[in-house]
Amino acid sequence: MTDADEHRQRQERRHADLLVHGATVLTPSGAERIDVACSAGRIVALGRLHTAWSADVTLNASGLHVLPGVIDSQVHFREPGLTHKEDLETGTRGAVLGGVTAVFEMPNTNPLTLSAGDLQSKLDAARERAWCDYAFYIGGSAANAENLSTLENLPGCAGVKVFMGSSFGDLLADDEAVLRRILRHGWRRMAVHAEDESRLRERKAIVDASGDVREHPLWRDVPSALMATKRIVRLAGETGRRLHVLHVSTAEEMAFLADHKRRVSVEVTPHHLTLSAPECYERLGSLAQMNPPVRERHHQDALWWAIRKGVVDVLGSDHAPHTLEEKGKPYPQSPSGMTGVQTLLPIMLDHVHAGRLSLQRLVDLTSSGPARIFGIEGKGRIALGYDADLTLVDLCARRTIRNDWITSRSGWTPYDGITVTGWPVHTVVRGHTVVRDEVLTDTQARGECLRFLEARPAGGAGDAPV
């Protein structure tokens, strides 16, 4: 072969920014042993590419599985106002180390996220500091109900989040008239924390008297969740609004929601699928305290039933960190919430290893499901033209989760000391390998604002029908 022939062959070879070679890739058609070529932040080729393509960066991923980038659609990164617990840089750093490539952040910060200015402040804070892609919820309240159809369509808005309980000030929406106003202004799927605030107030005396964290599920009991869920589903049906019920924790809610799936999507958390009462409270104390509570095993069994039957649409971590000092306050003065974004995937991969769900079902719950439910543009699948968000995992790797691995400012996890099988190895965000061999290797945060498909109905007005 002449020098001219070699030069011509080199010229004929296609070139990519990144080539992932040798892995098993979870595509819409199933698991395939193919390569993935990425350029300009998107997937440009799939197939046996190694001999036909060159690349600036080649990831030899032999023995690994490539998942579409994991999307965590419920995190609390505490910025602004509560950054001693977490901030956007530390939270997203933990996300990518855990294999997460995009997050939806919640509005209960200080100040609350209720206006266009509040949203823009968060977008400005995330720019060049977020390691993964991001969007922010607007809180739905009496203070902004009539503006929600405009606010929910702003760039970077993940949608509207409503707290029927467990919140304060303008973010608490427990009045039926207010809920109707919120539901009627907008078209996008509305996320809701469903606990009945009046019942929680009535029952607070139980734990005030006992000071026993093991009674957290007794205070925030099954009826407090079921009443609120039934109420918001009824109101959503009357107003024609689509709902997303967050962190469902009870068997009774799952049985009810299974009959109301036409307009309602459902989230569960790894915590509710993994921890159970009373053992977790006896072992962890207030570190196991979250809202809604971790409950008894038969409720956990019902959540797994709902996953098998397709009632559950997405997994969210409900990452809600507090410092160990805050968690150490006497119960019930101790705040509810725990870290989760960094451990979401390792914990769920361990469930895959144990045979509780398939890897393809996990992809649906953490990637394609969130993209479908929320209308995220270019995310959720490994397909030509989609964003090059890839989560590469070793299904056989055994690791012990430790507090010192957690990058959250709070510095702890309820899974400290737990050994799991299955672990994220590389994380690729829009073609940039931000985590390689379990280490943050990129020198620059690469996160960008998520894009959403058009939320308004074709030719329609901005508000739901009365």
Residues near 458 by beta carbon (within 8 Å), at least 6 away in sequence: none
| CA separation for the pair 98, 408 (Å, rounded) | 12
Is 394 designated active site? no
Q: Where are the beta strands (DSSP E) in 253-386?
A: 264-268, 314-315
Eight-state DSSP code of residue 220: T
| CA separation for the pair 74, 32 (Å, rounded) | 30
Is 344 in a helix, a strand, or coil?
helix
State the SS3 of 176-208: HHHHHHHHHCCCCCEEEECCCHHHHHHHHHHHH
Which residue of the set 87, 196, 318, 394 is catalytic? 318
CB-based burial label for 180 (10 Å; 0-12, 13-18, 19+): middle
| CA separation for the pair 103, 136 (Å, rounded) | 8
Phi, psi of 102 (to 5 degrees): -155, 150
Query: 175: which 2 tokens?
Result: 């009045």
Residues near 118 by beta carbon (within 8 Å), at least 6 away in sequence: 107, 111, 112, 138
Eight-state DSSP code of residue 364: I
| Side chain identity at residue 392, one-letter code | L
Query: 349: which 2 tokens?
Result: 């991969």
| CA separation for the pair 267, 320 (Å, rounded) | 16
Q: Which residues are catalytic?
A: 318
